[in-house]
Amino acid sequence: MFIMTKRRLITAIAAAVTSLMLVIGLPFVTSLHDQVAQATTTLRVYAAVSLTEVIQDIENAYNTDNPGAQISFINTLDSSGALLTQIQNPTNESAGIPDIFISAATTQMNTLQSASKLASGWPVTVATNRLVLIKPTTFAAGSPTPSFSGFSTLTNASVRGIAIGTPTTVPAGNYGKQVLESTVSGCGGNIYTTLLNNSKLVFANNVRDVLSAVENKTLSSQTIDAGIVYTTDKDTSSQVSLVATAAQNCHSAIVYPAAVLSRTTNGTAAASFANYLSSSTARDKFTDLGFGVP
């Protein structure tokens, strides 16, 4: 009888301890589950297509550095002008898309700022770049072989086509137009109109399309012998070579302003990542891929 009573007592104590552990542990498990559920936020980032590689590197670094505040990034990459058009779409605004915008020029960002579409304290310049003239490593068949040594020599009769971003929507194209129009010594020699009238300029939707056109030696059914892109775009390809780098006084400053948009519903996460774009880690990522930093 004593043995049975003792066994019942032990069983009761064990049950009580188990119940106590469950009571104590349940809030912890629930809290942990809530933390995990809340830890991942989705941010939609609209970024200039020239940032394709570096923005992914920085996003990965951010998540590594912030294990308790993981972000799922959804990137849309295109010309800054095309992205601006999407941002101005009322459907995207009502949906809070995007959270962050990084353009390759001040023009598009200024448009949004003037319309009070940016969160307070933005934009902030996070990177810079240089403009270059490139050619394919081997020219398309034909005679004579294209001959040019810089921007001002693109009027040579042997040059069949020059790929350039549409200046009104593609910052690299606008910078390129500035170079070609410049009369400053060492720039383009004011040849833009001449090239345009001679059908030598072939326009692309963004700077990476320009790069592809030079790689493939064709755009819009026209033979391409040269293109104007950023130095960072050139560095992504083994199928093109450098002809010349535009002097910085040939065009306005090439900068990448970043901003959190006022429409975001993830303001804390958006500001955290946008600020991270100016961190020492992000600056290293930019310079590793050939960008400058302010």
Backbone angles phi, psi at 173, to 5 degrees: -70, -40
Band (74; pLDDT cuts 50, 70, 90): very high
- Yes or no: say if 80 and 88 are a contact pair by the CB < 8 Å rule: no
- ∠ Cα 37 266 119 (to 5°): 165
Band (40; pLDDT cuts 50, 70, 90): confident
Would the annotation count 149 as a binding residue?
no
- pLDDT for 8: 53
Would the annotation count 80 as a binding residue?
yes
Band (132; pLDDT cuts 50, 70, 90): very high
Q: Average the pLDDT over 247-268 and give the result.
A: 98
Would the annotation count 230 as a binding residue?
yes
208 has pLDDT over 70: yes
Q: Pinpoint the residues of the chain covered by CATH 3.40.190.10.
A: 42-128+254-289, 131-245
DSSP state of 146: P
36 has pLDDT over 80: no
Weakest mean pLDDT among 33-47, 132-146, 160-174, 182-196: 33-47
CATH number among 3.40.190.10, 3.40.50.970, 3.20.20.70, 3.40.50.300, domain 42-128+254-289? 3.40.190.10
Topology given in CATH for the domain delimited by 131-245: D-Maltodextrin-Binding Protein; domain 2 (3.40.190)
30 has pLDDT over 90: no
